[in-house]
Amino acid sequence: MKQIVNFIWQKRVIGPIIIIAIGLLSYRLIRALVRKLFNHGKSTYEQKRRVTIVDLTTNVVKFFIYAIMFIMILDIYGFDTRGFIASLGIAGVVLGLALQETAQDFISGISIIADNYYVIGDLVTINGFTGEVIEMSLKSTKIKSFSGEVLIISNHNVGSVRNLSQERAGVKIDVCTAYEEDSDKVEAVLKKVVSQAKKIPFVYQDSTYLGIDDYLDSGVVYSILIYCKQSERFDIKRRVLKIVKEFYEQENIKIPYSQIEVHNGKKIV
């Protein structure tokens, strides 16, 4: 038993264990501190930005802590860590020249965060591809489209970015109505539709009825404008269209559709 205890307490055995334990504890403490420092902001955007910054910061901290732990363990086993560090410096220069694009990715990743291009959860359009940012690192960004496709793009290739989550959408809804319907009645009903739509989450209160927008072969086009959160515009449009149909059915207002009239050979007067 004494030999086992003596073996465990040898520097080469207990040393790496202590270093790993202290390293992991330090990482957890720093991660908790970073989360506490960025634990502010009530808006959805600020919360998403906090998650992104915390993830990136803790990943960088983890890398440096692991590197220090590795060097300290090598020192315990008698390796020349000074020469190793010097070799790392030379290797770093060589790798820096060979991995210029990777370095550009890291610099671009920092710039994206610092300049608020986007954060995890944002709906963006990058290089013509539209989707939600599902993962982000200092090297690359993953975007998932509505159809399930995932674009993985290096940060230095991120060009023009349109952040749809930071914009307010104006959803124009055209409602085709039969010519025989009274225009005053239709307008009154559509104003009620707008009032009902304002109760939907993420719809802004300056949404409004626009008026008659066009005359088609089948009917008169009335338009309403719904202002809402950009990322919710598709769902909100569907919900408002449902409200329109429900109100039209309640008020017996006809929505025209294509019809074919057959006269069966009789003379048309």
The CATH number linked to 44 is 1.10.287.1260
CB atoms under 10 Å from CB of 115, counted, come to 9
Q: Domain ends where: 45, 63, 98?
A: 98
Residues 173 and 239 in one domain: yes
pLDDT at position 267 is: 57
Same domain (yes/no): 125, 56 = no
Q: Which residue has the tokens 């959803």?
A: 171
- Please write down the long-range contacts of 131-137, taking CB distance under 8 Å and 24 or more positions apart: 136/52, 136/55, 136/56, 136/109, 136/112, 137/56, 137/59, 137/109
Do the Cβ atoms of 168 and 229 come closer than 8 Å? yes
Domain contains 217: yes
**Is residue 110, in this structure, part of any structural domain at all?**
no
CA distance 67 to 242: 58
CATH number at 213 reads: 3.30.70.100
* Cβ count near 137 (within 10 Å): 15
**Residue 240 and residue 157 share a domain:** no
Q: Which of 130, 149, 165 is the last residue of a domain?
A: 165
Q: What is the pTM of this model?
A: 0.49
Classify residue 160: in a domain, yes or no. Answer: yes
Q: d(Cα 266, Cα 175) in Å, to the nearest integer?
A: 35
Q: Structurally, how many domains does the chain consist of? A: 3
Quickly tell me which residue has 């370095």 as its tokens: 103
Q: Which residue segment(s) compose the domain that 210 sits in?
A: 167-250
pLDDT tens profile 134-143: 888 777 889 9
In a domain, 261, yes or no: no
Residues 172 and 223 in one domain: yes
Query: 54-90: buried (b, 16+ CB within 10 Å) or exposed (e) per residue?
Result: bbbbbeebeeebeeebebbbeebeeeebeeeeeeeee
- What are 207-237's pLDDT values in tens digits? 999 999 999 888 999 999 999 987 788 899 9
Pair 121, 73 in one domain? no
267 domain-assigned: no
**pLDDT one digit per residue (tens) for the chain, 269 residues:** 555 555 555 666 677 788 888 888 888 888 788 777 666 555 555 566 666 667 777 777 787 888 888 878 777 777 766 665 666 555 555 555 445 666 677 777 777 776 778 877 788 888 888 888 888 877 788 998 888 899 999 888 887 888 877 667 888 999 999 999 999 999 999 999 999 999 999 899 999 999 999 998 889 999 999 999 877 888 999 999 999 999 999 999 998 876 665 656 555 55
